[in-house]
Structure 1
Amino acid sequence: MRLLLRFTAALGVVVAMTAPAHAVTTYDADVTPDILFGNGVDNGAFTVDTANGVELGLRAKLRFDDNNQAQNIFNSNGDGTYSYEAGLPPTGFGFAAGSTSTAVWSFEWSINTDVDGTSGQVLSDLTYQLQIDFDPSAGTNFLTFDPINSVNPETSTVQWDHAIGNNSTPNGGGASISNGASNVAGYNTAITNNNVAQNSWNMEFFDGGSFPFDGRSRGIYEFVLTAFDGGTQVAQTSMTVYSTPEPSSLALLSLGVVGLAGARRRQRRRNAAAEDQTDAPAEA
């Protein structure tokens, strides 16, 4: 889905509260019920957390092949990390003319608030936090916002273009509320009547200001998706994308770099569990 965004640091609000019940992260997993945002887009290769009836998934995908076409290629390393060659699409495609911030890979997320069909919980019952790392180094620079309930800066309304559905929605069958202030009511109806939302985004959609991105940069980019019920964290998943020098390096990533990224993820989770912050995620 094309949703050209330009966020500012003001959207980096947030945060977390009580830690969730223990849950096990599953790698290379399907999300429930299927991929809703495109016919023929394969399920699978997600890094998934399922806890308290909520399923959260993240993955990276090849967005541009040699013909600038998306492929069902996920380059998962089987441990919550994904590897892609640094560089721009082969014919210079960019969502903005002359852009150098279009990554050849995209990141995809999935939220299901009633994965086992027993709670009746819908998307609007919870708040969320999506963190996107724009620092290619060992450090992090997170753009943080609620992808369901926050204001979309493109429309200046609480209304996004996600594929939305329920546990019976088939592949490619998600309803997408097109951009525009006149569709806010339709979007609100969708999130109060459904339990699944998904989207596929490129880093370029968010590039700018305090969050610059260059598709040619080699680096390590982390993503964290969290769901909250009131002030309580109920589920969280995370992944790391390696932007590597060349295709052959995909199988030869330094163990030191991989270990560093893993240590960063573990430390972040420990810090999040230890924090007792009073600021809650924005609600619609």
Structure 2
Amino acid sequence: MKNKLSALLLATSLVCGSSQAVILYDQDITPDVIFGSGNANGSFTTEQNNGIELGLRGKLRHNAAGQPENTFNSNGDGTYSFNAGVAPTQSAPTAQWSFEWSINSDYSGDDNFNFMLADLSFVLGLDTDPSLSTDFLTFDLIHGIEPIANSVCWDHSMGDNGTGNGAGTEVSGCRSADAGVAAAATAAYATNLTDFNVAQNSWKPHWFIPGFDPTIDATYDFYLAAFDAQGQQLARTQIQIIVGSGGATQVPAPTPLLLLGIGLLAVLLSRKRVFS
């Protein structure tokens, strides 16, 4: 069952790798928000551990005019609240909100770690269940197959600790129907993974969540985790997006034993009516 994220995290302490890390709320990410233009830093739920910084946040993607806005609706505890409904000027199933993520595999420049994006794996967990239960869809958002391009080639903004706001490097052509263009883009993306330690993006939920319905009250959990080559978790952060009044408690399906008991009770009541 889902609980409010602050309760789930208790004192926000998690043990990852060999040292203790703490999830922090309403933080700036390092070095800045490097995707797009006009996107403000701040309101990220972050963890910094083993030289790695991971961040997640919710964002008002479509305001009343249908435009993106630097409004994040953070509740200060790793949860973000947004209205239910189809986004203004958009068609279903586009929600009013999006989620944004940031990976910095070497945020401190510490020589004891000094990871590049190519050195680690990164798992994004997307909760596909709008109720208070969870059902995670997971994939490596750096080294995994991009669904439309059908190759390891994403349009993430990438950079290093000196990259300024909106100044990330993106690969174009990943989804090209021209095989030569697509192959060149895939090769460029692989090179960027060895050259850069920062990757970021802003995604709409219906791009990934099957059957997503923006009009219902819901609670969605998201997590982002980094792992070394041995599969050891080195860092992890997580958030909840609360839509409208939030998800409802899911009623468990009757167990076989309970169903048997109900059946026997029905037989007894039937017999009682017959013989009374």
Q: For residues 208 and 115 of structure 2, what CA distance do their matches in structure 1 show? A: 30
Deviations 1:109-157 (A, max 9, x none): 0000000012331001000110011111011121100000011111111
Q: For residues 106 and 55 of structure 1, what CA distance do their matches in structure 2 show? A: 21
Match of 2:101 in 1: 109
Q: For residues 217 and 177 of structure 1, what CA distance do their matches in structure 2 show? A: 35
Give the secondary structure class of the aligned counterpart of 2:21: coil
Q: 2:127 aligns with which of 133, 148, 167?
A: 133
Q: For residues 125 and 93 of structure 2, what CA distance do their matches in structure 1 show? A: 18
Give the secondary structure class of the aligned counterpart of 1:236: strand
Match of 2:208 in 1: 206
Tell me if the contact between 1:101 and 1:203 (Cα under 8 Å) persists in the aligned partners: no
Match of 1:232 in 2: 232
Q: For residues 234 and 226 of structure 1, what CA distance do their matches in structure 2 show? A: 8
With structure 1 as the length reference, what TM-score do the two structures score?
Answer: 0.75
Say which one has the larger Rg: 2
Match of 1:263 in 2: none
Greater RCO (Cα-Cα under 8 Å, separation 6 or more): 1
Q: For residues 78 and 19 of structure 1, what CA distance do their matches in structure 2 show? A: 23
Total equivalences in the alignment? 223
- Write the mapping of 1:38-77 to structure 2, written as runs, cut at 5 A: 38-77=36-75
Q: For residues 150 and 88 of structure 2, what CA distance do their matches in structure 1 show? A: 34
Tell me if the contact between 1:163 and 1:176 (Cα under 8 Å) persists in the aligned partners: yes
Q: For residues 90 and 113 of structure 1, what CA distance do their matches in structure 2 show? A: 36
Give the secondary structure class of the aligned counterpart of 1:40: coil
Q: For residues 72 and 124 of structure 2, what CA distance do their matches in structure 1 show? A: 20
Question: Which letter maps to 1:241?
Answer: I
Q: Which ranges in structure 1 are unaligned for 5 or more consecutive residues?
A: 1-17, 95-99, 246-252, 261-284
Q: For residues 174 and 203 of structure 1, what CA distance do their matches in structure 2 show? A: 23
- Write the mapping of 1:111-190 to structure 2, written as runs, cut at 5 A: 111-119=103-111, 120-178=114-172, 179-180=174-175, 181-182=182-183, 183-190=185-192
- Write the mapping of 1:29-44 to structure 2, written as runs, cut at 5 A: 29-44=27-42
Q: For residues 227 and 208 of structure 2, what CA distance do their matches in structure 1 show? A: 23
Q: CA deviation at 1:168?
A: 0.3
Q: CA deviation at 1:19?
A: 4.6
Tell me if the contact between 1:132 and 1:142 (Cα under 8 Å) persists in the aligned partners: yes
Q: For residues 131 and 217 of structure 1, what CA distance do their matches in structure 2 show? A: 21
Deviations 1:43-63 (A, max 9, x none): 000000000000000000000
Match of 1:86 in 2: 84
Q: 1:24 aligns with which of 22, 29, 34?
A: 22
Question: Given the alignment of the two structures, is residue 215 of structure 1 paired with residue 214 of structure 2, yes or no?
Answer: yes
Q: For residues 153 and 133 of structure 1, what CA distance do their matches in structure 2 show? A: 18
Q: For residues 176 and 37 of structure 1, what CA distance do their matches in structure 2 show? A: 9
Q: CA deviation at 1:218?
A: 0.6
Q: For residues 188 and 233 of structure 2, what CA distance do their matches in structure 1 show? A: 28
Q: Percent identity at matched positions?
A: 47
Q: Which ranges in structure 2 are unaligned for 5 or more consecutive residues?
A: 1-14, 176-181, 250-276
Q: For residues 24 and 40 of structure 2, what CA distance do their matches in structure 1 show? A: 17
Give the secondary structure class of the aligned counterpart of 2:20: coil
Deviations 1:64-83 (A, max 9, x none): 01110000000000000000
Tell me if the contact between 1:131 and 1:223 (Cα under 8 Å) persists in the aligned partners: yes
Tell me if the contact between 1:35 and 1:42 (Cα under 8 Å) persists in the aligned partners: yes
Q: CA deviation at 1:198?
A: 0.2
Deviations 1:174-196 (A, max 9, x none): 01112232200100000110000
Moved segments of 4+, more than 2 Å: 18-21, 179-182
